[in-house]
């Protein structure tokens, strides 16, 4: 089964963002819209690509996530770091790690 969210960087300042359920973009990983099917992933990516054309974000892509104790987590460590900030600089930790 697929579990995915869409991420990108905001064009104007480069900050990592996630496509939220309301179609907007959030810096919070825990507000990302979660896809549970290929079709839903395609739809989310379509929205993201439109947002790229509209100059809201750059380089959107899907990442795999998994659900664990009721919270959603990125599967790859790289995406974990991207979602929550560089571990060596805890002062730049991002909100939205979820429960």
Partner 1 sequence: MYRYDEFDRTFVDQRVAQFRDQVRRRLEGELSEDEFRPLRLMNGLYLQLHAYMLRVAVPYGTLSAAQMRKLAHIARRYDRGYGHFTTRQNIQYNWPKLSETPDLLDELAEVEMHAIQTSGNCIRNVTADQFAGVAADEIEDPRIYAEIIRQWSSLHPEFSFLPRKFKVAVTGATRDRAAVKVHDIGLFIRRNAAGEVGFEVVVGGGQGRTPMIAKTVRSFVEKRHLLSYLEAIMRVYNQFGRRDNKFKARIKILVHEIGIEEFTRRVEAEWAEIRDGVLDLPADEVARIHAYFAPPAYEPEGEAAATLARQRLSDPAFNAWVRSNAVAHKQPGYAIANISLKPEGGVPGDATAEQMDAVADLAEQYSFSEIRVTHEQNLVLPDVRQDALYELWQALDAQGLATPNLNLVTDIIACPGLDYCSLANARSIPIAQRLSRRFADLKRQHDIGELRIKISGCINACGHHHVGHIGILGVDRKGEEYYQITLGGSADEDAAIGKIIGPAFSSAEVVDALEAIVETYLRVRREGERFIDTYGRVGAEPFKEVLYAAA
Contacting residues toward partner 1, per CB under 8 A? 9, 11-16, 52, 55, 58-59, 75-78, 81-82, 85-89, 92
What is the residue whose two structure tokens read 């974990």?
80
Which of 28, 82 has the CB closer to partner 1?
A: 82
Q: Least separation, in Å, of the C-beta of 70 and partner 1?
A: 23
Q: Least separation, in Å, of the C-beta of 87 and partner 1?
A: 6
Which of 22, 54 has the CB closer to partner 1?
A: 54
Beta bridge partners of residue 8, listed in sequence order: 17
Nearest to 81 by CA among 72, 94, 69: 94
Q: How far is CA 5 from CA 2, 25, 50, in A?
A: 10, 12, 16
């Amino acid at each position: 089964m697929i579990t995915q969210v869409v991420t990108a960087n905001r064009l104007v300042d480069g900050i990592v963002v996630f496509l939220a359920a309301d179609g907007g973009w959030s810096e919070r990983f825990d507000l990302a819209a979660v896809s549970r099917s290929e079709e839903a992933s395609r739809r989310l990516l379509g929205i993201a690509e439109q947002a790229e054309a509209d100059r809201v974000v750059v380089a959107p892509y899907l990442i795999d996530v998994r659900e664990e104790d009721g919270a959603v987590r990125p599967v790859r460590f790289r995406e974990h770091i991207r979602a929550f900030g560089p571990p060596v600089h805890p002062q730049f930790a991002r909100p939205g790690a979820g429960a």
